[in-house]
Amino acid sequence: MADLLALVEARLRTGLGEPDARAAVTFLGTDRIEVLRFTDGDVVRYATLGMSGQPMTDPTAALADPVKGPRAELVLSVRAGLADTDKVLRPLAVLAASPQVEGLVVAPGASLDVGEPLWPGAPFTSVLVAEPGGLVEDLDLDAPMDPVRFLPLLPMTPNEAAWKRVHGAAALQERWLNGGTDLRDPLRTSVSLA
């Protein structure tokens, strides 16, 4: 796993540059999850490292395959200096550990909720998992292992999360696009859902 995570970190550095901070969190019964911070001008990106060490398995499967299955890391981008977003490290690590702890398969279109603000004063307790491939390219691994995908996270207000449950991820993303929503604004309000 250490070799795999070294490759994952190298891919993150290729896509995002050198991290300027990192923190590690370990939950009982799970592998260590690190969160790396990358600063690019007025944008701060937080990326998990460790979630991809084990493949995600369908919770209904009788046996977990130790090699095959989807692998991912999470990437959150926010505008710097508007809120104390560095406090997102623990909630991000919780989300990254959820496949091991809860048997979740994290995939584009999914909602993930931490049940508390992502950082102090944040209007968000959950995120929408977006399509990979924008910031960091997938990392292909030797067969039979699936590639590591770097999944962007888009913070959702409680109203947006409720609306998404009814109308779907694509409809919410269309609302954001039509509303000119700055999804990197750590203090933004909910998009108009009427």
pLDDT tens per residue, range 95-127: 999 998 888 899 999 999 999 999 999 999 999
Residue 193 falls within a domain, yes or no?
Answer: no
Residue 31 falls within a domain, yes or no?
Answer: yes
- How confident is the model at residue 20, as a pLDDT? 95
Dihedral sign computed on CA atoms, order 88, 162, 112, 28: positive
Residue 117 falls within a domain, yes or no?
Answer: yes
Residue 111 falls within a domain, yes or no?
Answer: yes
Nearest to 109 by CA among 138, 140, 132: 132
The whole-angstrom separation of Cα 56 and Cα 37 is 24
Domain containing 81 equals: 2-178
Residue 77 falls within a domain, yes or no?
Answer: yes
Q: What pTM value is reported for the model?
A: 0.94
pLDDT digits 0-9 by tens, 145-172: 999 999 999 999 999 999 999 999 999 9
pLDDT digits 0-9 by tens, 132-146: 988 899 999 998 999
Residue 192 falls within a domain, yes or no?
Answer: no
Domain count for the chain: 1
Q: What are phi and psi of 18, to 5 degrees?
A: -85, 135
Q: Is 108 helix (H, G, I), strand (E, B) or coil?
A: coil
Residue 191 falls within a domain, yes or no?
Answer: no
Burial 137-151 (b: 16+ CB within 10 A, else e): eebebeeeebebbbb
Residue 167 falls within a domain, yes or no?
Answer: yes
